[in-house]
Amino acid sequence: MTAMALDERFFEKFGVEYSPNEIIFCEWEPGNEFYFIQSGNVRIVKLIQNREKNLSVLTDGDVFGEMAILEEQPRSATAIATDHVKLLKFHRDNFDTLMSGNPALAYKLLVIFSKRIYDAKRRLMILLLEEPQLKVMDVLVMLAEQDPHLDLQNEIALQVTAKDVARWAGLSESDAQKELTHLSRTDKIELFGDKIVVKKIREFQRLVASRRKSMYQ
């Protein structure tokens, strides 16, 4: 988003800077601001099962903390500056004014919200399935769909652990593990420490789709 008309004055007003390794906000703290990265990199991490897990690394032009615009919920992850970072920081209360003056930023958020809406809906669709087996399958389908580089006609490898699957599926880890083991025994998938190989993801896709259809009838 280099074309963004964010002049110097804008930075004067909303600019904040962080040093390497400084926390910008921390998971579970209340969040009222969202951020736009002017320069530098920001690591988004989350404690999962008492281990710090990298969710993503964001860079120039990216926006984060945007859920604060919508609701006063605690932060769902921690943002840490990985190098010298320059940010624009906007309070929720200024949102309307800000958007009027900066259609480019508004457009950027529009794109982000579009993605988030879909992702959230997609996750919800998994959670609304009834059988744990299907939930697990659908998690794998969702992850496969999210990676445009995968060839879904062939065997695919997903960088995901049983814990991740459990979290997406809204299952306990042992329940998710049970389902994964079952799929592995029936030779539908292969389990590794840090990845899961799915033999025929299309088959899962079809199965989940037909069950979802019949669920409503």
Partner 1 sequence: MSNGAGSGPSGIITRTYKAGSIIYFENDKSEYIYILKAGKVVLTSLKLDTGEETKEEVRQGEFFGVKSALGKYPREETAQTMGNTVVLVLTPADFERLVLKNANVVKKMLRVFSNQLRRIVKMERSVLGEGEIVNPDAELFKIAEYYYKAGVVQHAQYAYKRYMEYYPDGSNAALAMKRIRAIDAGEPAPPDIGVPDAGPMDMPARPASGGDDFSIDEPGGDSDMIDFDATSHQDEPGQGSADSTLALSDEMDDFLAEKNTPSMDDFSIDAAVAGDTPRDLNDAADASFAKGNFSTALDLYRKIISLNRVNGNDDKRLLEKAHFDAGRCLMEMGKPKEALEIFSKVLRNFSDSPYMKMAIYHIGLIFESVNQKEKAITYYNKVLNMSPKDRLNSEALNKIKLLQGK
Distances (CA, A) of 47 to 26, 58, 62, 68: 10, 18, 22, 20
Is 39 in contact with 86 (CB distance < 8 Å)?
yes
Q: Which stretch binds partner 1 (CB under 8 A): 53-61, 122-130, 174-182, 190-198?
A: 122-130
Which residue among 124, 154, 192, 202 contacts partner 1 (CB under 8 A)?
124
Rounded to a whole number of angstroms, the minimum distance from the CB of residue 101 to partner 1 is 7
> Taking Cα atoms as reference points, which of 123, 206, 197, 102 lies closest to residue 159?
197
Q: Is 78 in the site for partner 1 (CB under 8 A)?
A: yes
Does residue 109 contact residue 63 with C-beta atoms inside 8 Å? yes
Class of residue 21 by CB neighbours under 10 A (exposed 0-12, middle 13-18, buried 19+)? exposed
Query: In the bound complex, what is the minimum distance in angstroms from residue 186's beta carbon to partner 1?
Result: 28
**Which one-letter amino acid corresponds to residue 103?**
P
Of 56-64, 98-106, 132-140, 197-205, which part binds partner 1 (CB under 8 A)? 98-106
- Given a contact cutoff of 8 angstroms between Cβ atoms, the answer to whether 30 and 72 are in contact is yes
Stretch binding partner 1 (CB under 8 A), from 26-34, 136-144, 174-182, 200-208: 26-34
- Residues found near partner 1 in the complex (CB under 8 A): 12-13, 15-18, 21-23, 26-30, 47-50, 52, 67, 69-74, 78, 80, 89, 92-93, 96, 99-104, 106-107, 109-111, 113-118, 120-121, 123-125, 127-128, 167, 170, 172, 212-213, 215-217
